[in-house]
Amino acid sequence: MSLADSSKAEIYLDINRVTSPISPLLFSGFLEHMGRAIYEGIYDPSSPHADANGLRTDVLALLREVNYRAMRYPGGNFLSGYRWLDGVGPRDQRPRRRDLAWQTLETNQFGTNEFIEFCRAINTEPMLAVNMGTGTIQDAANLVEYCNAPIGTQYADLRAAHGYPDPHQVKYWCVGNEMDGPWQIGHLEAPEYGAKAREAAKMMRWHDPSIKLVLCGSSSTGMPTYPEWDRIALEMCWEQVDYHSMHYYATNRENDTASYLALAAEFESFVDTLTGVLRYVKAKNRSKRDVFLSWDEWNVWYKATRPEVDFRGDWKEAPHLSEEVYNLEDALVVAQWLNVFLRHTDVLKIACVAQAVNTISPIHTTRDRVLKHTTYYPIMLFSKLASGTALDVAVKSPHYQTQKFGDMPVLDVSASYDESTRAGAIFIVNRSQSENVPVELHWQDRAPWKIAAVHQMSGSDPKAFNSLENPGEIVPIMITPPTIEDGCAQMLLPPLSFTALEMCL
Ligand code: AHR
């Protein structure tokens, strides 16, 4: 790949030119009863690393390092056949069931209360989902009562009898999962889903008016019903919900790395389209309130997607399903996804990496070890460094040709500034596979007094990955920060790289 124009790049920043505050919930995760995400992932009483509750302390340490602000649970496709009462109460009385979504044996040894304990252990906000497939609106309302009502009525008393007299105070609730998908247990057409979700939402909020609800949106831009599904469901539920969900899994099936590295264009257009739908429905419904976007399943997922192997658990407990191994190009796509989140903070308020452990995840476990895949690092760096407000960055970049998206800028950039700490961050992906790109950073208002640190991931092989034998193949290194002169700093960005700069202003 050669650059259409080999000139340098320029990035213009101004701490007064902001998009909007960054919602910390943009750095959230997702855990489903799928494969080894729960069992052998976060929960494994037989592990040498298990704590008194059976949670794996080595996994908890990594999840704390990433600092996921919320965790969505228990699915996913699993949700649409899940009976939440199976997963509460004495463990020896919980049923073993066939999970039809992943054809797995579900022991129910981990359920709602264990999930809440897990969330407290890693200081994350629980984001529970209610079953809109086989579940009724009554089941959904009962779960809100079980979790959030003070004792004195049936389901709150049941919670107390299970050892939790105080309400769990779960704030975020998803009303179903991917109900637009024919693969979903109990799949519904948009008008049927809209009617069911609206009634479920009413009952859930009558139990606890403080909860925030997420409506199911399209499960991908490739769905034939996209974006009509979104418009119909939103028109029917606008006054009852707070967020509208987006799901998307990125692929490089054609092995076209140049196009794959430009996928941010697709992410951006997904957000733009749904932003348009939100504006349209708000106007059409003559509403005064806003609904925001929750990208509550996002990740790269295409290598481990053979239906006969990666989707079928053969009715086994915790089978190895969809254990995607991530490489350098995947990490660069993930970094751009996070750039897109920062460029759309006005409308995007929640985003959950799917998933948190083992299944399509940046973290992989064996019985006694954990491995950080390449994608772990951009997720952790954004979560740690991006706070305050997102900046509206102006970028002049050389371009390159892609088959899927035509002419694309070589650099993909976002930035943040936090007035409370006077710290800022700039995140830059160099999509070129062969060219170093010289870049000038210009501060148009107050320049940082120093660039405190520069983290950089790069490599010559886009397919390079980390393994248990070689866990340090693709990890960020600290490079010497550039100096600032007259409000400008200069750097050379290597090909296939992700760079995160920390600034002190
Ligand atoms: O995250 C894996 C699966 O992808 C989820 O169960 C489903 O919601 C999506 O199709």
420-430 pLDDT per residue, tens: 999 999 999 99
pLDDT digits (tens, 9 = 90+) for 467-483: 999 999 999 999 999 99
Protein residue whose Cα sits closest to atom 9 of ligand 1: 76
Give me ligand 1 centre to Cα 249, in Å: 9
What pLDDT score does 448 carry?
Answer: 81
Ligand 1: nearest atom to the Cα of 79: 6
The residue-averaged pLDDT of 37-51 equals 96
Q: Mutual orientation of helices 328-343 and 264-284 as an angle, nearest 10°?
A: 30
Give me ligand 1 centre to Cα 241, in Å: 22
Task: Give me the residues paired with residue 497 across strands.
Answer: 430, 458
Protein residue whose Cα sits closest to atom 7 of ligand 1: 76
**Angle at Cα 381 formed by Cα 377 and Cα 385, nearest 5°?**
180
Contact 268, 412 (CB under 8 A): no
pLDDT at 6 over 80: no
What pLDDT score does 465 carry?
Answer: 98
Question: What pLDDT band is residue 418 in, cutting at 50, 70 and 90?
Answer: very high
pLDDT at 1 over 70: no
Residue recorded with tokens 């870049």: 439
pLDDT at 233 over 60: yes
pLDDT at 416 over 60: yes
Coil, strand or helix at 232: helix
Give me ligand 1 centre to Cα 406, in Å: 30
Mutate to test the pocket of ligand 1, among 80, 131, 247, 321 (most ligand atoms within 8 A of CB): 247
Backbone angles phi, psi at 351, to 5 degrees: -150, 130
Q: Specify the pairing of strand 423-430 against strand 399-402.
A: unpaired
Average pLDDT, the chain: 97
Residue 92, C-beta contacts closer than 8 angstroms, at least 6 positions apart: none
pLDDT digits (tens, 9 = 90+) for 172-218: 999 999 999 999 999 999 999 999 999 999 999 999 999 999 999 99
Q: What distance in Å separates the CA atoms of residue 336 and residue 211, rounded to the nearest whole number? A: 31
H runs (alpha helix) in 364-491? 376-385
Protein residue whose Cα sits closest to atom 4 of ligand 1: 76
Ligand 1: nearest atom to the Cα of 299: 1
Contact 240, 416 (CB under 8 A): no
What pLDDT score does 184 carry?
Answer: 98
Q: Specify the pairing of strand 292-300 against strand 243-250.
A: parallel
Give me ligand 1 centre to Cα 75, in Å: 7
Give me ligand 1 centre to Cα 76, in Å: 5
Q: What distance in Å separates the CA atoms of residue 323 and residue 52, rounded to the nearest whole number? A: 27
Backbone angles phi, psi at 471, to 5 degrees: -70, -10
Give me ligand 1 centre to Cα 353, in Å: 11
* Residue 428: both structure tokens together: 């830059």
Mutate to test the pocket of ligand 1, among 30, 31, 77 (most ligand atoms within 8 A of CB): 77
The residue-averaged pLDDT of 246-270 equals 98
Ligand 1: nearest atom to the Cα of 181: 10
Torsion angle in degrees (nearest 10) through CA of 194, 350, 34, 467: 150
Within 6 Å (CB) of ligand 1, which residues are found?
Answer: 32, 34, 75-77, 177-178, 219, 297, 354-355, 360
What pLDDT score does 209 carry?
Answer: 98
What pLDDT score does 291 carry?
Answer: 98
The string of DSSP letters for 125-158 reads EEEEEE-SSS--HHHHHHHHHHHHSPSSSHHHHH
What pLDDT score does 446 carry?
Answer: 85
Q: What distance in Å separates the CA atoms of residue 293 and residue 286, rounded to the nearest whole number? A: 19
Give me ligand 1 centre to Cα 469, in Å: 30
Protein residue whose Cα sits closest to atom 3 of ligand 1: 76
* Residue 499: both structure tokens together: 């760079």
Ligand 1: nearest atom to the Cα of 75: 6
Q: Specify the pairing of strand 497-504 against strand 450-458.
A: antiparallel
Active site residues: 178, 297
What pLDDT score does 3 carry?
Answer: 55
Ligand 1: nearest atom to the Cα of 76: 6
Protein residue whose Cα sits closest to atom 6 of ligand 1: 76
Backbone angles phi, psi at 236, to 5 degrees: -80, -25
pLDDT at 445 over 90: no
